[in-house]
Structure 1
Amino acid sequence: MKWSELCIHTTNEAIEPISNILHEAGASGVVIEDPNDLVKERDTFLGEIYELNPSDYPEEGVYVKAYLPINSFLGETVDEIKQAINNLLLYDIDIGTNQITLSEVNEEEWATAWKKYYKPVKISEKVTITPTWEEYTPVSTDELIIELDPGMAFGTGTHPTTVLSIQALEQYVADGDTVIDVGTGSGVLSIASVLLGAEQVFAYDLDEIAVKIAGINAKLNKVDEKIKVKQNNLLDNVDVTADVIVANILAEIILRFEKDAFKLLKPGGIFITSGIIKKKKQDVKNALINAGFEVVEINQMEDWISIIAKKK
């Protein structure tokens, strides 16, 4: 079978929504080529450093690449992807150059092209994320390992917004907690919550593909008995009370349900929000305060913000 490599020249801000669009379109894997990776300091003992070729990377912005089978529907699929990306402008998301190119690759090239980008990565004090095909030995007795297959998941969980979310979960999730994961995607935050001590997690996503993937990843990590994955629009009609609610999602979406999150949290409960670009930080902060929250922590990684709020 022949495959088409779809390359989108865009911005760091648009990586996650575009990745989601590509997966919904049937992409079997997404590669992100960010020039920051060429200069980023890494923990070499985890082995995630790979020989990266600077010529593969743009001087500005990022490349998001996906692989689609070449068939009679390819043209229609690409047109739908282009339209969906253009629609991101309605959410005030900077899509940058938005130059899209197509090139043909054979089966062998496709099978290995994106795997070289994914190695075990320690993303918090306790949590390490590793691709399913990598052999990995924990370096400490309390290390928590999450296995993901980027071919079926929304990335490997190493994007700054996910890292910020897991670092916050590690700080605030306690043994026996109930956690709600809004916009679960690959389910990585739900999995991390259980490994960190949560007794039950309710994972919601509007996308039925994400719901399926989150369920598969939960089983892969042997935590599916404690994670209930359901297709749902944000917190609509949810009546679960939680100790922690986490949402790694666009700022514009967070602003649609911050009051619902306040209602569903127990007194003293924690609302972890991530996926916020810098220019939206104040909007989210103000909305959380107006909903009754106390903002207890604001963290930043690269161009991304996470805000942790507490129900008084």
Structure 2
Amino acid sequence: MKWSEICIHTTNEAIEPVSNILHESGASGVVIEDPQDLLRDTAPLGEIYELNPDDYPKEGVYVKAYLPVNSFLAETVEEIKQSVNHLTEFNIDLGHNHVTVSEINEEDWATAWKKYYKPVKISEKITIIPTWEDYTPVSSDEIIIEMDPGMAFGTGTHPTTVLSIQALEQYLEKDDLVMDVGAGSGILSVASILLGARHCYAFDLDDIAVTSTMNNARLNQVESQVTSKLNDLLNGIEMEADLIVSNILAEIIVRFTDDAFRVVKPGGYFITSGIIAGKKDEVRSQLIESGFEIVETNKMEDWVSVVARKPE
């Protein structure tokens, strides 16, 4: 079977929304080629990179996805271009915004995933591994999360995800009820359970994300503690949560801070990520306006996470 590789040359800020557009267009996963990765042979938490500089742009990033070659391909590519261009209405910098399409054999496509995806330790306790890799834990308290990039929504090693999991590790308490808003692959839902939450409700507007979350929950044997469902942010949610986590665009976070304040229990936390550094103050201000106290702000590369708390 023939596959078409679509490559979008864009910015770090646009990675998340562009990736979402590709997934909604039928891609089963994305590859991010960021030249910043070449600057760290060994990350502080022990990630080992095996990367070829020729694969990377001089500036910006490549976001790549694979679509089957069929009679609808040209129409799909044109719809992707239009959707990406539409992101400028959200004040998202698209950079070069150059789109190229090339053909690739299925065998090469299957192999391509593996050169980008290795075991990675992303926090003090958590290591993410691809399903095909053999990995031996280095400590007795290490938590292993298995992920399959073919399930869509990336591998879980993007800075926004790392920041979210590091915050979960710090603020989640045993038997907490967690809500994961904009769950994507469900990696934050899985991490919450493995860190001690009694249950996690994963909400997303994309039915592919709902399925992917449950697939990953089953892969990590926590499906009985994860409920994944279609929902528009926290609209209509009446139950209370001890902790809410949302790795999503800053433009979306600011839309539901009031609902988050309503849903989270007094003393509970709202962990937000997916925030490009230039929009940090906007998110912080909106959280404060909704009634939250800012606990801390963390940064990794060009990305920021903000941890807020509802006063008791």
Which TM-score tier does this pair reach, normalised by the shorter chain?
A: over 0.9
User: Partners of 1:290 and 1:29 in 2: how far apart?
Assistant: 37
Aligned to 2:306: 307
Q: Does 1:116 align with 2:115?
A: yes
Q: Deviation per CA, 1:215-239: give whole Å up to 9, x if none.
A: 1111111111011101000000001
How far 1:308 moved relative to its partner? 0.4
Following TM superposition, by how much is the alpha carbon of 1:71 offset from its aligned partner in structure 2, in angstroms? Answer: 0.6
Deviations 1:136-156 (A, max 9, x none): 111110001111101113111
Does the 8 A contact of 2:45 with 2:122 survive in 1? no
Structure 1: distance between partners of 2:286 and 2:168: 21
Q: CA offsets, 1:169-207, max 9 Å, x none?
A: 000111110001000000000000000000011110011
> CA shift at 1:46, angstroms?
6.1
SS in 2 for 1:253: helix
Residues 53-64 of structure 1: pairs in structure 2 closer than 5 A = 53-64=52-63
Is the CA contact (8 Å cut-off) linking 2:30 and 2:152 kept in structure 1?
Answer: no
Preserved contact between residue 184 and residue 203 of structure 1 (Cα < 8 Å) = yes
Partner of 1:76: 75
Give the C-alpha shift of residue 105 in structure 1.
Answer: 1.1
Rounded Cα–Cα distance in structure 1 between residues aligned with 2:202 and 2:30: 23
Q: Which residue of 2 aligns with 1:234?
A: 233
SS of residue matched to 2:185: coil
2-structure distance, mates of 1:263, 1:167: 25
Structure 1: distance between partners of 2:284 and 2:45: 38
Distance in 1 of aligned mates of 2:44 and 2:293 = 39
Divergent runs of 4+, >4 A = 43-47
Whole-angstrom CA distance in 2 between matches of 1:114 and 1:133: 11
Cα distance in 1 for partners of 2:287, 2:41 equals: 34
Find the aligned partners of 1:144 and 1:268 in 2 and give their Cα distance: 27
Deviation at 1:43, TM superposition (A): 5.1
Partners of 2:45 and 2:121 within 8 A in 1: no
Aligned residue pair count = 311
- The amino acid of 1:200's aligned partner reads H
**Paired residue for 2:152?**
153
Matched residue SS, 2:306: strand
CA contact (8 A) 1:3 1:107 kept: yes
Contact 1:48 / 1:118 at 8 angstroms: preserved in 2?
no
Q: Does the alignment pair 1:88 with 2:108?
A: no
* Range that drifts further, 15-24 or 183-192: 15-24
Partner of 1:3: 3
Cα distance change on mapping 1:233 and 1:30 into 2, 3 Å: same
Structure 2 distance, partners of 1:108, 1:44, is: 34
Question: How far is the alpha carbon of 1:20 from its aligned partner?
Answer: 1.2
SS in 2 for 1:38: helix
Letter in structure 2 aligned against 1:104: E
Task: Describe how 1:1-312 pairs up with structure 2 within 5 A.
Answer: 1-42=1-42, 48-50=48-50, 52-312=51-311
Tell me the distance in 2 between the aligned counterparts of 1:83 and 1:47.
36
Can you list the C-alpha shifts for 1:43-93, whole angstroms capped at 9, x where unaligned? Answer: 59967321x221211110011111111110100110111111111111111
Larger mean CA deviation between 268-277 and 22-31 belongs to 22-31
SS in 1 for 2:42: coil
Read off the aligned partner of 1:135 and give its amino acid letter. Answer: D
Report the residue type matching 1:116 in the other structure.
Answer: K
2:302 and 2:132 mapped to 1: Cα distance?
30
| Helix, strand or coil at the partner of 2:297 | strand
What amino acid is the match of 2:157? T
Residues 9 and 99, structure 2, Cα contact 8 Å, conserved in 1 = yes
- Unpaired stretches in structure 2, ≥5 consecutive residues: none
Q: Deviations over 1:233-261 (max 9, x none)?
A: 00000011011000100011011110110
- 1:71 is paired with a residue whose SS is coil
Q: CA deviation at 1:113?
A: 1.5
- Code of the residue aligned with 1:124 in structure 2: it is S
Instruction: Measure, in 2, the Cα distance between the counterparts of 1:247 and 1:137.
Output: 30
The code of the aligned residue for 2:21 comes to I
Q: 1:45 to 1:87 in 2, by over 3 A?
A: closer
Q: TM-score, normalised to structure 1's length?
A: 0.97
Contact 1:46 1:120 in 2 (8 A): no
Distance 1:45 1:227 in 2: 28
Q: Is the 8 A contact 1:29 1:114 kept in 2?
A: no
Residues 8, 100 of structure 1: 8 Å contact kept? yes
What's the RMSD between the two structures over aligned residues? 1.3
User: Percent identity of the aligned residues?
Assistant: 67
CA contact (8 A) 2:41 2:48 kept: no
Pair 152,65 (structure 1): closer, same or farther in 2 beyond 3 Å? same
SS of corresponding position for 2:287: helix
